[in-house]
């Protein structure tokens, strides 16, 4: 059972790293819209979509962190 927890932690850690990378790219792209010569009417929908996905990835990142904490607690309780 201990190997199961180790594998689960490895997968959750990889997922957290991927979500963090995606969050950086989305935030950078959304902010980058303001530095282009794009018409403001065209930039607003992209900004809204970028903010939405940025928020979704942030919430998923926090959820994965909670899953990691819960798995570590379960592993700690199993070792006792």
**Sequence-separated contacts (24+) of 52-57 with Cβ below 8 Å:** 53/26, 54/23, 54/26, 54/27, 54/30, 57/19, 57/22, 57/23, 57/26
- Rounded to whole angstroms, the Cα distance separating 20 from 58 reads 8
**Structure confidence at residue 9 as a pLDDT band (50, 70, 90):** very high
| pTM for the full predicted model | 0.85
pLDDT tens figures, 20-38: 999 999 999 999 998 998 8
The b-or-e profile of 38-74 (16+ CB within 10 A means b, else e) is eeeeeeeeebeebeebbeebeeebeebeebbeebeee
pLDDT tens figures, 26-73: 999 999 998 998 888 989 999 999 999 999 999 999 999 999 999 999
- Rounded to whole angstroms, the Cα distance separating 54 from 26 reads 6
């Amino acid at each position: 059972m201990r190997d199961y927890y180790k594998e689960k932690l490895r997968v959750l850690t990889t997922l957290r790293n991927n979500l963090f990378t995606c969050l950086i790219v989305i935030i950078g792209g959304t902010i980058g819209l303001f530095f282009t010569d794009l018409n403001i009417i065209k930039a607003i929908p992209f900004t809204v979509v970028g903010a939405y996905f940025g928020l979704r990835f942030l919430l998923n990142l926090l959820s994965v962190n909670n899953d990691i904490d819960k798995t570590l607690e379960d592993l700690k309780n199993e070792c006792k």
